[in-house]
Structure 1
């Protein structure tokens, strides 16, 4: 005789856990990119480096890495400025592009933890 069963799935808590883990992963990834950018950000008195922040907007699952000084954009975009050895323009863009695999791995690891 066939045996029956009933399965109910409450997807709300699972979806919330996945979003929370994705937001955590995004924050870790943003912190990683910030650390990499801090290695090449132009230095004079280190005000630019100290202004770096990483944050996440959890509802939109958007991560942000920014530097907040009046000259941050100019230092990033103007390629003809002279910098100390090892420091460069595109101090945020270059590390972000170089860290794509690490960023994806950090986010994926947090999501995998939530699925356990």
Structure 2
């Protein structure tokens, strides 16, 4: 006599919660990657001549609150963008500044975008780990 057994498992029911956890993990990972980028960029950001670290101290992360939000790494001094781009400048008096500054101790312009590009794989891995932890 042959006996058969059949089971139907409905996993769709719990998927909403699982998906929500995965997405929450992605946001957490994204925010952790932004914190890592802040640390990487602070190691390359120019030092101010007066206090030595005003620019670096102004660096912050604005975390993403929800899926689809960006995590932002920002530096907030009047010269942060100028030093980051460090290109030729003509001021309102017509004076030329050639850019290409020689910042001290290996510090440099493009102190935010360069570490993001150079450490892309690490930053992606941080986000991926957040997704896995979900």
TM-score, normalised by the number of residues in structure 1: 0.88
Structure 2 residues without counterparts, runs of 5 or longer: 87-98
Consecutive aligned runs of 4 or more in structure 1 exceeding 3 Å deviation: none
Range 28-37 or range 58-67, more displaced: 58-67
1:73 corresponds to 2:77: no
RMSD, matched Cα: 1.5
- For this pair of structures, how many residues does the alignment match? 114
Moved more, 77-86 or 23-32: 77-86
Q: 1:14-25 maps to which residues of 2 (within 5 A)?
A: 14-25=18-29
What TM-score, normalized by structure 2, do the two folds share?
Answer: 0.77
Select the residue among 103, 111, 114 that pairs with 1:94: 114
Partner of 1:42: 46
Alignment pair present for 1:113 and 2:120: no
SS at match of 1:28: helix
1:53 equivalent in structure 2? 60
Which structure 1 segments of 5+ residues have no match? none
Aligned counterpart, 2:8:
5
Radius of gyration: which is bigger?
2
